[in-house]
Amino acid sequence: AVDGKSIAGKDADLATGQIKGEAGTPVTLTVLRPSTEKTRDYDLERRELVVPAVETKLEMAGGKPVGYIRLLGFSRGAHAELRQAVEKLDERGAEGLIVDLRGNGGGLLDEAVLTSSVFVEDGTIVSTKGRTQPDKTFEAAGDAVEPRPTVVLINGDSASASEIFTAALNDAGVADVVGEKSFGKGVFQEVISLEHGGALDITVGEYLTRDGVSLAGDGIEPEIPSVDKLKTKPDEGLQGALDALGAALSQPSDSPQQ
């Protein structure tokens, strides 16, 4: 239970939603021990959880150095970490980039827009079409990094904000998409609190690309299919992205991504 309200049997997102709160505020968790059938209260203080949003390294593609960025989530500040990662890889001589979104289930909408804006200079990033809220359009923030050959790597666990980012870069012509079809969670929810501590998590709208295509349901189909082998050696998904990036780097300098 959270502050006396039971979360037994609830969806993980709903349960964590009740635990989360403003940093510095108290929360009491009541835990049931199955072995004794007894409960114990834990009085805690909420604190800000800071988890790095990106991991980077230098790879080789087509005989040239390229940057690899694994974007782990779209938490607060992810766009600043992403921009800093791109700049540091530039300093190390990277001539192209791979942004790995495999396993990235999404995050904050505003971070999806801001991270996309790191690469997309202008135009629509995403728009929303809702049942309970007015339709909205989110534009690129401007001040994008210098265009360079870029590949976005996705799989079936790339969802929500990951799909917004992928579609925005691809539709703007600044990145190719490699990997497996994404999850297809182009919708957003609204949590409605009920009496006795219950809640309903209801889908109230969908996300649309700059071309007006819904991101809900079907997922994003990669232009260059590559088997997802994130946890195996060698990483076949990453190799597919490196091959695609190497091919892009071998194109004339007036190619669309450069």
Helices (H), 92-160: 109-117
- Tell which wins on pLDDT, 187 or 74: 74
| pLDDT at residue 255 is higher than 70 | no
- Helix intervals (H) in 59-189: 78-91, 109-117, 161-171
Q: Across the strands, what pairs with 45? A: 26
Report pTM. Answer: 0.80
Cα 86 to chain center, whole Å? 17
Which of helix, strand or coil describes residue 15? Answer: helix
Domain ranges of the chain: 1-49, 54-249
Closest C-alpha to 221, from 177, 176, 171: 177
Least confident among 35-39, 71-75, 95-99: 35-39
pLDDT at 195: 77
186-214: average pLDDT? 85
The mean pLDDT value of the chain amounts to 91
- Does residue 233 surpass a pLDDT of 80? no
* DSSP three-state, residue 168: helix
Q: By CB neighbour count within 10 A (0-12 exposed, 13-18 middle, 19+ buried), where does 112 fall?
A: buried
Confidence label for 132 from pLDDT (cuts 50, 70 and 90): confident
Q: What is the pLDDT of residue 189?
A: 80
Q: Is the pLDDT of residue 253 over 90?
A: no
Note the pLDDT tens digit of each residue in 151-194. Answer: 999 999 999 999 999 999 999 999 999 999 999 999 888 877 78
pLDDT of residue 9: 78
Hey, which residues are catalytic here?
Answer: 160, 171, 185
CATH architecture, domain defined by 54-249 = Alpha-Beta Complex (3.90)
Does 246 score more than 80 pLDDT? yes
Top pLDDT among 57 and 199 is at 57
Over the stretch 4-38, which tens digit does the pLDDT of each residue have? 988 887 777 778 888 989 999 999 999 998 889 89
pLDDT value at residue 231: 65
Quote the pLDDT of residue 225: 94
| Residue 257 confidence (pLDDT) above 60 | no
What pLDDT score was predicted for residue 8?
84
- Which pLDDT belongs to residue 229? 58
